[in-house]
Amino acid sequence: MLKNLFSFLNHWRKNNPHLRGFTRKIYHSDYFQNSMAVQWLCRKTMKNTMALGLRFPTLFSIEVTNICNAACVMCPRESLTRPTGIMSNDIFKKIIDEIAEIGSEVIAITGLGEPLIDKDLETKIKYAKQRNIRIVQLFTNAALLDEERTEKLIKAGLDNIIISTDAADKETYEKIRLNLPFEKVERNIKNFIRIRNALKVEKPKIKLNMTVFGENVHQRTYFHRKYKDYVDGIHFSYARQWGEDKSTFSKSDTVVNRYMSKTRVYPCPLLWLHFNVFWDGSVPLCCMDFDCTHPLGQINTMSIKNIWHGNKLNSVRDQHNMGKSNENKLCKDCMYYISWFSASVAAKKKEFVV
């Protein structure tokens, strides 16, 4: 009974932007975070999740390309120095084979480019499903999501598609997502839903993500109200400074700048949870290391297991465990925030937060 009540209240909170914002403020308040009960529970959750994550990563992000058709104002691509390209099928298969061998179940096709630029994307997704990857998620801006690609993605077995749609009207959208036409993207989303329903399949589930910052924060409620009835989910994330690049932070006028002024109290959960691979097989420290300035290894010559248990990653984990994360240049000013409670849920369910 209590569990059902909690599920109901949580569902109500998620679907009410004002209530979600209110509970977020309470959760991040010093009074709540510094309470003895919360700190005890956090440390217990952290210990259990660390033990689970040390065996093997729970979540995998695969960048099939870092080439993009957009120039979003909150994206750090303009600071990118690493080469651009598209992941070969051989590298992708090697990654998937290793993931399948150890029994991990969730991958996200994402990164610093637009995945639909990869003409072999559907082949890659189909291979992942053939290797029994339970959930394959695709993050896209949907500008290239025409009817032909829609049918191919559905038939390939894609489970979830998360569309980055950062505004509910043309004027705001095209200020944020430069080079992308709002009407086309919105039409592609509607066509995707129509085609999926016509094929009488439940998947892919379609979710919209709004990256909230100064340009669009006023549209949160309108965005939710406009789209909630015809997509399977809506998620609000927050613009942030990426890695050591502060230009995107100041440019984005992020809503969550309060994290910049606080010392990290707990180790970052991503070091025990999340494994990232770029298009050329290089492995960055984390998802915030967009230019791979802190490489952990190369998939072409190393196994995922060796990288995950390697000295480079373990030394950063030790820094965080000892409260010395500021000694790492990438971590020093990082403002990406995920709680150990959210990390625990993601690890147990083997699902991304989005």
Which comes out higher in pLDDT, residue 46 or 354? 46
CA dihedral (273, 206, 234, 31) in degrees, to 10, reads -10
The pLDDT assigned to 75 comes to 86
Cα separation, 288 vs 330, in Å, equals: 8
Alpha-carbon distances, residue 44 vs 20, 51, 119, 344 (angstroms): 25, 11, 45, 11
The model's pLDDT over 61-88, given as tens digits with 9 standing for 90+, comes to: 999 999 999 988 888 888 889 999 999 9
- Mean local confidence (pLDDT), 45-69: 81
- Decide if 176 contacts 167 (C-beta within 8 A): yes
State how beta strands 177-178 and 205-212 pair: unpaired
Task: Name the least confident of 6-10, 247-251, 286-290.
Answer: 247-251
Look at the alpha carbons of 236, 242, 246, 247 in this order and tell me if their dihedral is positive or negative. negative
Q: Which of 18-27, 28-37, 209-218, 245-254 has the highest mean pLDDT?
A: 209-218
Kindly report whether the peptide bond that precedes residue 204 is cis, defined as omega within 30 degrees of 0: yes
The pLDDT assigned to 347 comes to 60
The model's pLDDT over 196-215, given as tens digits with 9 standing for 90+, comes to: 999 999 999 999 998 888 78
Cα separation, 235 vs 151, in Å, equals: 25
Q: How many helices (H) and strands (E) does the chain have?
A: 15, 11
Cα separation, 206 vs 196, in Å, equals: 10
Mean pLDDT score of the chain, rounded to an integer?
Answer: 81
- Mean local confidence (pLDDT), 263-281: 84
